[in-house]
Amino acid sequence: MRTDCHKPEYLKIVAPAVMAVLLFVLTVFAVFLPTYRQSLLNGKKDMIRELTRTAWSILAEMEQKERAGVMSRAQAQQAAIAAIRGIRYGKENKDYFWINDMRPSMIMHPFRPDLEGRDISDFSDPNGVHLFMDSVKTVQSSNEGFISYMWQWKDNPDHIVPKLSFVKAFAPWGWILGTGIYLEDVRQETALLTRRLLYASLAILALVSLFAGLLVFQSLQAARLRRKAEQELLEHQNQLEHLIEERTADLQQANARLVADIAARQAAEEEKERLIAELRQALEDIKTLQGIIPICAFCKQIRDDSGYWNQLEKYVTEHSHAEFSHAICPKCMAERYPGSEDDDD
């Protein structure tokens, strides 16, 4: 569950890094190394071409002395052979030149003196390539060129390896001058570069892996913090929803109480209206009173059925159609007409 949750973040970081490393390795081993090998081979081919032309100039110099009469042809040829036999180059100073003629027979070979003076037209390498006949055909068609064959490793006749040689004709004497490079050198140099690039690629891969691991760790930490924040936010949201629900319930209860209060007020209002209606009805009933009601002429009190005097004239007058006759109550009579009671007696 947790791995699936982290997988998108992991892939977003690791996938580009892995793709970059794979692209780098693919570019190095599929494009750069073959290009480097071909460039190295071309460089060595240019080198032996120039070296052959330099050695060829020795032959030309000796031939010029021959034509100048400074020495005979045999002397000139021996001097040229001696000079070229001693030429060495390469890392181990074991790369050399050889000379054969057009028949072909070997004129000079520093590491195969057993072939000197022999007919080498039938000489072939382990693969059946007649290399000296190929050299003759090459110079006959274009005066110079490259030939490929198997040959002993420098001065070791037991170690046979691929070789690429450049041959150039020296027409005045009917000779062919040649030298070559061992393709094993190219392979070794390419292998050395391959190992170095492999180590560099592994180092880069280690650095990228370390960097990607750091980014993944930081990403997972950020994802963990984000999930924690989301969880806290969810909890706060749940709390808020709970508070909202409680508040809503409180509001609903308050609303219910308000509705009940309104209903009670409406009932009270209805009761009030009912009482008012009853009072109005009573007043209407009062208005329908008939006959003469005794009332005091001074204090305006009326006498009820029990014989009590009450001040109801004004109220009754305003709220009924009753008619009042005015009289004097005994109290008012005594206050206003003292002694009248004796007269009555």
- What pLDDT digit, counting tens, does each position of 108-154 carry? 999 999 999 999 999 999 999 999 999 999 999 999 999 999 999 88
Contact 177, 145 (CB under 8 A): no
Give percent above pLDDT 90 in the chain.
40
Q: Extract the tokens encoding 313.
A: 């004239």
pLDDT in tens, 215-230: 777 777 887 888 899 9
Burial of 242 (0-12, 13-18, 19+ CB in 10 A): exposed
**Mean pLDDT computed over 87-95:** 91
Q: Extract the tokens encoding 117.
A: 């003076």
Angle at 268 between CA 263 and CA 273, to 5 degrees: 120
CB atoms within 10 A of CB 212: 21
Please give the C-alpha separations between residue 283 and each of 83, 278, 305, 313, 319, in angstroms, as whole numbers: 162, 9, 18, 14, 6
Find which of 14-28, 180-194, 204-218, 321-335 is predicted with most confidence, using mean pLDDT. 180-194
The whole-number pLDDT of residue 311 equals 59
The whole-number pLDDT of residue 5 equals 47
**Residue 84 and residue 99: Cα distance in Å, rounded?**
9
* All domains of the chain in start order, with CATH: 2-200 (3.30.450.20), 288-344 (no CATH)
Neighbour-count burial for 37-46, b at 16+ CB within 10 Å, e otherwise: beebbeebee
CB atoms within 10 A of CB 169: 21
CA R_g for the chain: 68
- Residue 68 has what DSSP assignment? T
For residue 308, pLDDT over 60 is answered with: no
Token pair 């062919």 is found at 176
Angle at 343 between CA 337 and CA 345, to 5 degrees: 125
The whole-number pLDDT of residue 1 equals 44
Paired strand residues for 97: 179
Contact 257, 288 (CB under 8 A): no
For residue 168, pLDDT over 60 is answered with: yes
**Residue 140 and residue 132: Cα distance in Å, rounded?**
12
**Residue 161 and residue 159: Cα distance in Å, rounded?**
6
Q: State the chain's mean pLDDT as an integer.
A: 84
CB atoms within 10 A of CB 106: 21
pLDDT in tens, 222-270: 878 888 999 999 998 888 888 888 888 888 888 888 888 888 888 888 8
Angle at 293 between CA 290 and CA 294, to 5 degrees: 170
